[in-house]
Structure 1
Amino acid sequence: MVRIALPHDDVSPGTGCLPPRAWYATSDARALCLNGNWRFRLSPTADAEDDAFAADGYDADTDGRGAWGEIAVPGHWVLQGHGTPHYTNQLYPFPVDPPRVPTDNPTGDHLRVFDLPGDWPAAGTTVLRFDGVESCARVWLNGTGLGDFKGSRLPHEFDVGPLLRPGRNVLAVRVHQWSAGSYLEDQDQWWLPGVFRDVTLLHRPEGSAGDHFVHAAYDHRAGTGTLRVDADVRGRVTVPELGVDMATGESATVPVEPWTAETPRLYDGVLATAGERVPLRIGFRTVAVEDGLIKVNGRPLLFRGVNRHEFHPETGRALDADTMRADVLLMKRHNINAVRTSHYPPHPAFLDLCDELGLWVVDECDLETHGFQAVGRRGNPVDDDRWTPALLDRAARMVERDKNHPSVVVWSLGNECGTGRGLTAMAEWIRARDDSRLLHYEGDRSCADTDLYSRMYADHAEVELIGRGEDEGPEARRRLPFVLCEYAHAMGNGPGGLTEYQRLFESYERLQGGFVWEWIDHGIAHPAYEYAYGGDFGEEPHDGNFVCDGLVLPDRTPSPGLLEYKKVIEPVRIDGDGHAGVVRITNLHDFATLGHLSFTWSYEADGVRVADGPLAVPALGPGEHAEAQLPPAPPHAPEAETGWT
């Protein structure tokens, strides 16, 4: 492949973007959704077209140099008839020559014509927000360049107030499939270019909150929560249910019910500034490592987790709200209590659902350089100071966007990047910005930049040694809690060994659970196959069906592996076959009592239920157990095969 220097070869995170800030779904400020059908054309190379399409007054219908069609945004062009997807697990799909990428670089030009409502406020300014674009975008509005950005699964905003016009406006976006940013995004997944998350115009009234940070700690000894909301403008914070009415920057300590993944208690509040009212959903909880254990609200927790990629068989990583909610509900129904967002921050609406319905979240940065392993880590960006600004930008965009979610209890620096100075810089920045959560990174066995010891696929024998504190390694590491960030690979007939792992987790308090790899098969809908995987689109190199390794099928049908996992991790255990007249009930929840459950018994003879009734079980607290008395066995034929259920 011929290579030349192009703007997207730059290792910087981009130009022209506003500083990152907290995401929230709604406020009383005006917003205009720009999702929908956009004009689109695809070029085979990054330099095949000039930027005339972005000029003011350009008419796509009269340009004879390239046929313009339409494409749905959010969406990936390779799933809408333009080019093809490409799957790799570890290797980059182009030669490793950082920061350069091939000139054979599919480039999609996007045009969106929109009318600004006549009553759009003149005061204040307006921000143009992109929630996700893979992998590099350059943006123009009404012929004026706004800038460019990388960081596919992260938000980027531009100040466009002075450029907006009454009536007709034209937004032009050029997206390159490959960029220097691609070297930081070598995750085990399909490469799917495009504008795949929402595009929105947000009015920012004078006196609106540019950013805010909700600090909501819980004191489990006193049963109180302490709330402080910092904002970059003055305002007031009200939480009517708690009787809170205070200025931003002030603190209030009041009796509260804490937030946990088992009891996801949220309080509705409002941040009111001179220009805007922002709704708050506040969960009080405190995360810390104490006595060598991860504790929330003073109690150790056990992750019964999964690694989750965002995926839909027809739309790729462009997920709608119903699909995200379906994921969370399906997890909850199968006793899953935690998600690692492998290996990038998810759509922020997914974290809203985790807050509401209750999941512990390890929020992972959009960073993986796995393919450098094939060249001996030579040129690895995480150990090259030229790339550190891009790494810090990705860390900041994750933390600032997601910092107000109580479900996020751990920040993860990324995945399978080896080690390097850039990772240390990220860890130092995150700790300085937010010391209320823990830090995770699996790739550094020294654990110098982390608060927990994390491994992938350690076998049962090694996990038991770690549980006993008899593993080799630095003494400081042996004092850290241990988590399997990936284990029990769910491909084919997997996952296996689940019962043995769970027995170890429950036997050694240092072992605080893990995250099964992974949640969903990434099979793409295809006219010739039920689902396509690597190589089915003629791409080279590829990693075949290794992308189909989930607990649910692409259409989210549970696999037998998910049903097995559900049984192994169930938080209520019933022991005994009833022949002694009693059964033992154990509450394996970390926080919840059994007061929300009802228990029944039934008696069967030759597979037919002959009697049933309620079973008296106390509202056991977490970790408690009790024996429940069964009634006398009802009459049945002497030769019948009988049993209690």
Structure 2
Amino acid sequence: MSFRTTTAVDYVEDVSPGTGALPPRAWYATSDAMALSLNGDWRFRLSATADAEDDSFADPGFDAGDWAEIAVPGHWVLQGHGSPIYTNHLYPFPVDPPRVPTENPTGDHLRVFDLPADWPSDGGAVLRFDGVESCARVWLNGTDLGEFKGSRLPHEFAVGHLLKPGGNVLAVRVHQWSAASYLEDQDQWWLPGIFRDVTLLHRPAGCVLDFFVHASYDHTSGEGTLKVESDVDGRVTVPALDIDVATGESVTVPVEPWTAETPRLYDGVLASEGERVPLRIGFRTVVLEDGLIKVNGTPVLFKGVNRHEWHPEKGRALDPETMRADVLLMKRHNINAVRTSHYPPHPAFLELCDAYGLWVIDECDLETHGFVEQAWRDNPVDDDRWTPALLDRAARMVERDKNHPSVVIWSLGNEAGTGRGLTAMAEWIHGRDASRLVHYEGDINCRDTDMYSRMYAFHEEVERIGRGLDGGTLKSRELPFILCEYGHAMGNGPGGIADYQRLFERYDRLQGGFIWEWIDHGIKDERYGFAYGGDFGEELHDGNFVCDGLLFPDRKPSPGLIEYKKVIEPIRIEGWGSPLLERGRDLGEGAYGTVRVCNAYDFADLSAIAFEWAYQVDGETVESGMLPVPALAPGESADVKLPEPPDTGSGETQWTVRALLATDTAWGPKGHQVAWGQFPVSAPPPVHVAQREAPRLGDGRITLGPASFDSRTGALMSVGAVDVAGLRLDVWRAPTDNDDGAPWQPDLRYGLLWRKLGLHRMRHRLDAVELTGDALTVRTRVAPAARQVGLATVYRWTSDGERLRVTVSVSPEGDWTVPLPRLGVRFGLSGAAARVRWFGGGPGEAYPDTRSASELGRWESTVDELGTPYVRPQENGARADVRWAELGGLRIEGEPEFWFSARRWTNEQLDDARHLTDLVPGETVWVNLDHGQHGIGSQSCGPGPLPQYFLRAEPTEFSFVFSEIS
């Protein structure tokens, strides 16, 4: 005979969503009913297990004077109590659903509060928790209110009968692990605590309970239809539309529609007998029609991001200013859509999306990814016992967020396999809200969803889908396609997103995608700058896979965000300007000197945009002015004539045209750049160095023009007064996260293949130093130990007396089966070389498949600012299309153009570093001049670089010219 003792904490392992909470309802921030925030400093006690302490702490009069204090909202592991844990999908505890470990960190929270003096004595009150991870039990004044699960969802309790004017004791016991943890296996830090707001709401007699704002738009008539369903009778007024109707009644009037580009909101009021609730109403209609997602009759193209909630010090406890900063950054970088991966966000974020204009896929707080390790056996979404919890999560999302016009799609969750529970969720959502579509990526056959969704599909597969050649079920083939995750923004990258965007714009069925993801989840840490998985001693972790965002943890944009802004810009500016450009030849003589402007917005015209032109010679603007462009409607294009270019003589010339905000907007100031285009007029002149000087041997040195070389090795030692160290061929770069690929990708992870081949430890053999009448020739072989492959490398040095030219010839030997990381030369300069000037691509870094945002011009920086501070150090900082660069008293010109980078450590030291604090500046500035770089791709979770961005080992020749800056 066996038995299990029932304990007071059995609710922790109960698969039910909890007991005692009120039914879910619409969330609103304010009304004329009184509210009291209970955020602030709470008393806190941490226990090692769920049942280490009894519940006497909830009794009035309990002395918690020796307890610690923590901030609520907040996570106790980020406030000195325990440590965070990062896993991508592995559960950090044994998988035995619904059981959890005995070692279950449990935080007891206490808050004593008084009611305001003017708190009404009539009516009731509701205590609302907006987010607690992962399971909480609540007492007020010694009365057990119940317990709840569903970490990123609101829960309310009726408490009016328990309140006192003063000395109210609110006690909350929070368990890190519970049955709910099996449903919340999202790729993020495990962070227990009360991390969203706690609020006491007065509920006067006759107050508003739940309500549903239905505000549709008929694009054929320009009219909107409003109906507000309410659990209590009342009236709805919208002064700007002269609307004054009873709840439940429909009214149709001419309106301006809401879209992400034109987020028109109408202020209204829902008034019941006891309460007035402000409304912000956006009229719009979302349908699946002709195999496309349409809003207000128009197909939309999602230019989106996946957004986890994150702050480097507060975790998921975001304040309004941080949420607003996110939205403004998105709008200013041309992002028009957000998938709230992988849970509903703080409701204030959706209010911002309504106001500023972002399409939202609102995702349920559901992921069971860890069950993939056992082939999805025992997956809760296919176990009827868990279905009530799944339906509760769906209802709490939909009911909370149903009145936001920005929410156009509901998502069942993420990476939870398939099963009956998901079908039940989809059926409930479709029945509750027919005005939106339903998404779930894991439903490959689209049984329960309204769109075909994939993650990280390769470019060629996306094109097949766009052409309707993807196979699958008939239903899936008839549905629109979105990439709910693509362009994995981990470290240096993502690469190849411009190639995806071209596909999205070519095929109607492809309705865009969402970059993974918005922000690096680095935790501010004195040891490392920013910490990632494993830095807190976790026994299981997934390293820096948690740092895969377009923003660094401190919310500074990464080069990936700058690239994405350019790739998805809503105005296309293309120019011809010269017969040099082949594509202009079929346009007739009048096409030269014109620019084509295309409005790529879905809804907005260009009346809010001003255009400027600049004519540049060798990267410097010599003339500029305003360019008249008509207020093009969405999808329209116009050819606009440019002014006559000035006569500037010789030099490389080009036009640059910019699209700027004409006036201040809610999200950007006047002059903010929305889009730009650049196109050449005349090509750069060739770099010519006459071979006038002959090399001279003497005193252990070879002298050639301004340069001296070691007579034994042929190594360059100086150019004029500038000392140069260690110039030689370089093929190694510190592998990026995308070079290294993901563990589940067994083939063609080039970072690993490069290391296996030994490209990080190349040996340089000197074969000959030859002096001829006009040149110094140094013959070498560069190859890794233990391998037969190599690169026969010849340096041929010539001079005209003032400048020094090297021509590097590289011939592969052996069977090269992998591309090269980079190909160029590296050398050292004095550490006093602090500032850099260059004419080429900028201002930020670029690589072969991340160069859309690289603008040709003259730029200036410090050596330290050239680098990009990726949380895990890796290859960074290259500038593309460089004509010349100056630093440390040296000027370098290239033929052809080259990639340039400089840093105060070697590539090998960069490769060895695991955190930014590992990089200690040395006394040498190491400069790379690269003829080629391998592409970046997004293989940290997606595809590697496309073949056209491979740097193949093949016979190559390139030149550089060095001169001392006078």
For the aligned pair, the TM-score class normalised by the smaller chain equals over 0.9
Q: Which structure 2 residues correspond to residues 463-502 of structure 1 after superposition, within 5 A?
A: 463-502=462-501
* Equivalence for 1:143: 142
| 1:57 shift after superposition | 2.3
* Equivalence for 2:669: none
The answer to whether 1:157 aligns with 2:169 is no
| 1:577 shift after superposition | 4.0
The 3-state SS of whatever aligns with 1:53 is helix
- Letter of the aligned partner of 2:14 in structure 1? D
CA distance change for structure 1 residues 610 and 429 in 2, over 3 Å: closer, same or farther?
same
| 1:269 shift after superposition | 0.3
* Equivalence for 1:270: 269
The match for 1:24 among 28, 33, 39 is 28
* Equivalence for 2:600: 588
TM-score (norm 1): 0.98
* Equivalence for 1:425: 424
* Equivalence for 2:935: none
| 1:635 shift after superposition | 2.5
* Equivalence for 2:643: 631
The answer to whether 1:363 aligns with 2:362 is yes
* Equivalence for 1:112: 111
| Structure holding more strand per residue | 2
Q: Which structure 2 residues correspond to residues 85-484 of structure 1 after superposition, within 5 A?
A: 85-484=84-483
The match for 1:12 among 12, 16, 23 is 16
What are the superposed Cα offsets for residues 103-125 of structure 1, whole Å, 9 maximum, x if unpaired? 10000000000011232112110
The 3-state SS of whatever aligns with 1:500 is helix
* Equivalence for 1:58: 62
Residues of 1 paired with 2:516 and 2:212: CA distance? 32
* Equivalence for 2:654: 643
The answer to whether 1:38 aligns with 2:42 is yes
The 3-state SS of whatever aligns with 2:448 is coil
| 1:567 shift after superposition | 0.6
| 1:8 shift after superposition | 0.5
* Equivalence for 1:606: 618
Where in structure 1 are there 5+ consecutive unaligned residues?
62-66
Residues of 1 paired with 2:369 and 2:615: CA distance? 55
Residues of 2 paired with 1:240 and 1:33: CA distance? 31
Q: Is the 8 A contact 1:229 1:250 kept in 2?
A: yes
The 3-state SS of whatever aligns with 1:170 is strand
- Letter of the aligned partner of 1:77 in structure 2? W
Residues of 1 paired with 2:560 and 2:70: CA distance? 37
| 1:11 shift after superposition | 0.2
- Letter of the aligned partner of 2:605 in structure 1? T
The match for 2:632 among 620, 633, 640 is 620
What are the superposed Cα offsets for residues 388-445 of structure 1, whole Å, 9 maximum, x if unpaired? 0000000000000000000000000000000000000000111111000000000011
- Letter of the aligned partner of 1:179 in structure 2? S
Q: Is the 8 A contact 2:606 2:633 kept in 1?
A: yes
Q: Is the 8 A contact 1:118 1:167 kept in 2?
A: no
* Equivalence for 1:64: none
Residues of 1 paired with 2:596 and 2:142: CA distance? 72
| 1:4 shift after superposition | 8.2
The 3-state SS of whatever aligns with 1:106 is strand
Q: Is the 8 A contact 2:368 2:415 kept in 1?
A: yes
- Letter of the aligned partner of 2:236 in structure 1? V
Residues of 2 paired with 1:484 and 1:397: CA distance? 26
| 1:610 shift after superposition | 2.1
Name the structure, 1 or 2, with higher relative contact order (CA <8 Å, separation 6+): 1
What are the superposed Cα offsets for residues 595-631 of structure 1, whole Å, 9 maximum, x if unpaired? 1101111112233322222111111111111100011
Count how many residue pairs are aligned between Structure 1 and Structure 2. 637
- Letter of the aligned partner of 1:426 in structure 2? M
Residues of 2 paired with 1:312 and 1:163: CA distance? 36
| 1:47 shift after superposition | 1.0
Residues of 1 paired with 2:563 and 2:114: CA distance? 53
What are the superposed Cα offsets for residues 223-278 of structure 1, whole Å, 9 maximum, x if unpaired? 00000001101100000000000000001100000000000000000001110000
Residues of 2 paired with 1:222 and 1:334: CA distance? 33
* Equivalence for 1:548: 547
The 3-state SS of whatever aligns with 1:107 is strand
- Letter of the aligned partner of 2:40 in structure 1? G
Residues of 2 paired with 1:361 and 1:154: CA distance? 17
Residues of 1 paired with 2:652 and 2:379: CA distance? 65
* Equivalence for 2:53: 49
Q: Is the 8 A contact 2:11 2:18 kept in 1?
A: no
The 3-state SS of whatever aligns with 1:464 is helix
Residues of 2 paired with 1:299 and 1:276: CA distance? 38
Residues of 1 paired with 2:82 and 2:523: CA distance? 14
- Letter of the aligned partner of 1:355 in structure 2? D
Residues of 2 paired with 1:537 and 1:81: CA distance? 12
Q: Is the 8 A contact 1:23 1:401 kept in 2?
A: yes
- Letter of the aligned partner of 1:46 in structure 2? A
Residues of 2 paired with 1:163 and 1:7: CA distance? 23
Q: Which structure 2 residues correspond to residues 532-543 of structure 1 after superposition, within 5 A?
A: 532-543=531-542
| 1:56 shift after superposition | 2.8
Moved more, 616-625 or 381-390: 616-625
The 3-state SS of whatever aligns with 2:469 is coil
Residues of 2 paired with 1:640 and 1:547: CA distance? 47
The 3-state SS of whatever aligns with 1:390 is helix
Moved more, 476-485 or 604-613: 604-613
* Equivalence for 1:76: 75
| 1:7 shift after superposition | 2.1
Residues of 2 paired with 1:83 and 1:405: CA distance? 38
Q: Is the 8 A contact 2:303 2:568 kept in 1?
A: yes
Residues of 1 paired with 2:572 and 2:240: CA distance? 36
Q: Is the 8 A contact 1:577 1:644 kept in 2?
A: no
Q: Is the 8 A contact 1:27 1:279 kept in 2?
A: yes
What RMSD over aligned residues (CA atoms) do the two structures have, in Å? 1.0
| 1:529 shift after superposition | 0.9
- Letter of the aligned partner of 1:182 in structure 2? S
The 3-state SS of whatever aligns with 1:111 is strand
TM-score (norm 2): 0.65
Q: Which has the larger Rg? A: 2
Q: Is the 8 A contact 1:487 1:514 kept in 2?
A: yes
The 3-state SS of whatever aligns with 2:121 is coil
* Equivalence for 2:869: none
Residues of 2 paired with 1:15 and 1:489: CA distance? 40
Q: Is the 8 A contact 2:263 2:356 kept in 1?
A: yes
Residues of 2 paired with 1:34 and 1:95: CA distance? 36
Q: Is the 8 A contact 1:4 1:103 kept in 2?
A: no
Q: Is the 8 A contact 1:38 1:72 kept in 2?
A: yes
Aligned residues with identical type, % of pairs = 76
